[in-house]
A and B are shown apart, each in its own frame.
Chain A
Amino acid sequence: MSTVAEKLYTIRYKVDEQSHLIIKDQETCLNCQTKECQDFCPAEVYHWVEKEKMTSVAFENCIECGTCRIGCPTYNIEWVYPKGGHGITYKFG
C-alpha cells in the first residue's frame, strides 16, 4: 500500500512561484454542498480549511490532468498550464 503522498513523491516537479490554479470565488466554495474537489483530484491539491472558510490549493502537487476544471460543480477553478518548462516532468510516462 502506498499513500498519495508517496505516489506524488515519485514525480519530478519544477515548481513555479505562482499558482496556475486559482479559486475564482471563495464564497462559492463556502456555499458548495459537496466540496468534491477534495475527493476527485488525483493529487490531493484541494483541501477545505473549515477554520479559515476557504479552499486551500496545493498547486505544487498538481499533475495537470484537468479533472478539477471539468469536475468542479460551479466551474469555480481558473485553470491554466504552469509556465513553460514548469510543473510535472514524467520519467516514464
Chain B
Amino acid sequence: MANERFDAIIIGAGPAGSAAAYTMAKAGLNVVLIERGEFPGAKNIFGGVIYRKQLEDIIPEFWKEAPLERQVVEQRLWLLGEQSVVTFGHRNEAFKEPNNCWTGLRVKFDQWFAGKAEQAGSLNIYETVVTELLREGSKVVGVRTDREEGDLYANVVVVADGVNSLLGKALGVHREWKPDEVSLAVKEVIAMPREKIQDRFNLEGDEGLTIEFVGQTGGMAGLGFLYTNQDTLSFGVGVMVSDLKRTRVKPYELLEGVKQHPMLRRLLQGGETKEYSGHLIPEGGYDSIPPLSGDGWVICGDAAQLVNFVHREGTNLAMTSGRFAAEAIIEAHAKGNFSREGLQGYDRRVKESFVHKDLKKYRGMHALMHDVDPNLLFDKLPHAVNEAAYQMLLVDGVSKAEKQRMAVRGITAAAGGAMNVVKLGIKGWRAING
C-alpha cells in the first residue's frame, strides 16, 4: 500500500461513499474505497427504506439486480395511546409503477452497492480504519490507516465516515454533536414466515409496508418503526440522546416495553429475534450542516448531517451527496484544481438540489424540539387525541355536542391551554416551512 497515489480516496463504504466511488470509477478516475468493517454494511443499520429516484440517478434500473426486500405500497403513521391507537395511512397501487421505495437490509445492500463500485474499477479495501487525514498546510493530501505502511495519497479525500465522523471532527469541519442533535435508534430484525407477514399486513407477493409510531416513547422525542421485509420484520425505536440522558430510560428496555403494546404485540408475536443493533441518527437538520468542502476534501452523507428526519430520509440524501461530490471531483480532475474553489461544484450541486431545499424547509424543527416540552409533543398530545377518538366513538348516552366539547377540552388541557394550542400550531407551521 505504501506511497500509492490515487485521484481520490473515499472513506466509508456506506451509501454516500459507494455512490461517490462508483460515479468516479465509472468516469475513469483511479479511486480507492476504504471500509473499517469486515465487509461493507458490517457496521451499518438503518430503519430501512431505499428510495428509487436517487439511486436510479446513479444506477439505472438497479432494482433488477439489487438485493431489496419488499416494494412499499403502503405507509402508516400511528399515534399510540397506552392501549389504543389513532391511525393514518396511505396505500396506493400507483406506488408500484414507477416504484417509489423498497424496504431493505444494509448488510446485503451495502455489499452490493460497494461491489458495483468495485466492478466499475474502484479499489475496495476492507477491515481498514482511517485514523488520520494527512495534510500539507491547510490542504488534505491523503490518509493514514491502521495498516502497516498504510499511508495513501490522493488529490482529494471524500469523507463519508458516518454519523460519528471522527475525521470530520479532526479536520475541524464540525464540532462534536450535542446530545440534542442526534438520536439513538435500537432495532431488532425479527424472523417470521413470509406467508404470515403477508397475511398479517395485508400484502401480496413482494408488496411491503412501513409503520411509524409516535406516543409510547416515555415522553422522549422520537418514534418507532415496523417495516416488512421478505421473511423478517425490522422493528425499532429511536429517541433523542438528550432525552435518554434526562429520563434515564435504558434504550433496550424502551424497545421491550413498546413491543408489549397491544397494537404491536399482535403483529410481532411468534417472531424470533435474529439480530439486535443500534446506531446514531444525525438530527440536527439544516443548521448543523458543516461546510461541505475545502482544500482537497469533501464531506458527504451522515457525516455532514444530511438527514431529513421528518420524512425519515437519509440513505437517499447520502447517495445523492456522494454522487454530487463525485461529479464535482470529476470536474476538478479535468481542470486540475482540487482547491476549495475547484471543489465548489459540490456545494453548488447540493444547494440547487432537494437535499438542501428539504433540509431548509424543516430548518425550524430542531428549535421546535428544543423549545417545546417533548413530553407534550410525544406523550400528552398523542394520548389526548386517542382519548378524544375513544370518547367520540363510545356510545354511552352522553350527547355528541358534549363529547365534542370534552374532546376539545382534553386536547387543549394536554397542550396547557387554548393559547398554547395556537402558539404551538404557529410554531409547528413555521418549523415545517422554514
Taking beta carbons and an 8 Å cutoff, which residues of A are in contact with B? 1-2, 4, 7-8, 10-11, 14, 34, 36, 39-40, 42-43, 63-67, 69-71, 73, 75, 79-85, 87-93
Contact = CB atoms under 8 A, between A and B. Distances in A.
Given A75-B176, A79-B164, A84-B127, 5 more contacts: A42-B251, A65-B278, A71-B244, A84-B126, A89-B39
Q: 9 smallest A-B Cβ distances: which pairs?
A: A85-B127, A93-B106, A7-B276, A93-B107, A42-B278, A66-B164, A84-B127, A92-B189, A42-B251
A86 to B, nearest CB: 8
Contact of B38 (A2, A40, A64, A89): A89
B274 A65 contact: no
B41 A90 contact: yes
Given A42-B184, A42-B251, A93-B106, A80 B276 contact: no
A80 B274 CA distance: 27
B252 A70 contact: no
B277 A63 contact: yes
Contacts of B273: 2, 7, 10
Interface stretch (B42-50, B196-204, B387-395): B42-50
Contacts, number: 135
Contacts of A65: 184, 278-280
A4 B251 CA distance: 10
A71 B176 CA distance: 11
A65 to B, nearest CB: 5
Contact of B277 (A4, A39, A87, A90): A90
Contacts of A87: 43
B276 A85 contact: no
Given A10-B273, A88-B43, A40 B241 contact: yes
Contacts of A91: 107, 274-275
B82 interface: no
A90 B256 contact: no
A10 B356 CA distance: 38
A93 B48 CA distance: 9
B188 interface: yes
Interface in B270-320: 273-280
Contacts of A71: 179, 241, 244-245
A87 B278 CA distance: 14
Contact of A70 (B46, B107, B182, B277): B182
Interface of B: 36-39, 41-46, 105-110, 126-129, 131, 145-147, 163-164, 166, 176-179, 182, 184, 186, 188-189, 232, 241, 244-245, 248-252, 256, 273-280
A70 B276 contact: no
Contacts of A70: 176-179, 182, 241, 280
A67 B42 contact: no
Contact of A84 (B108, B147, B188): B147
A2 B108 CA distance: 26
A93 to B, nearest CB: 3
Contacts of A92: 105-107, 189, 232, 274-275, 277
A79 B273 CA distance: 29
10 contacts: A43-B278, A65-B184, A67-B182, A71-B245, A80-B166, A81-B36, A85-B36, A90-B107, A92-B105, A93-B45
B280 A67 contact: yes
B106 A90 contact: yes
A21 to B, nearest CB: 13
A48 to B, nearest CB: 14
Given A65-B278, A66-B280, A93-B41, A42 B186 contact: yes
Given A70-B179, A83-B146, A93 B248 contact: no
Most buried by A among B110, B145, B276: B276
A63 to B, nearest CB: 5
Contacts of B189: 92
Contact of A90 (B45, B146, B244): B45
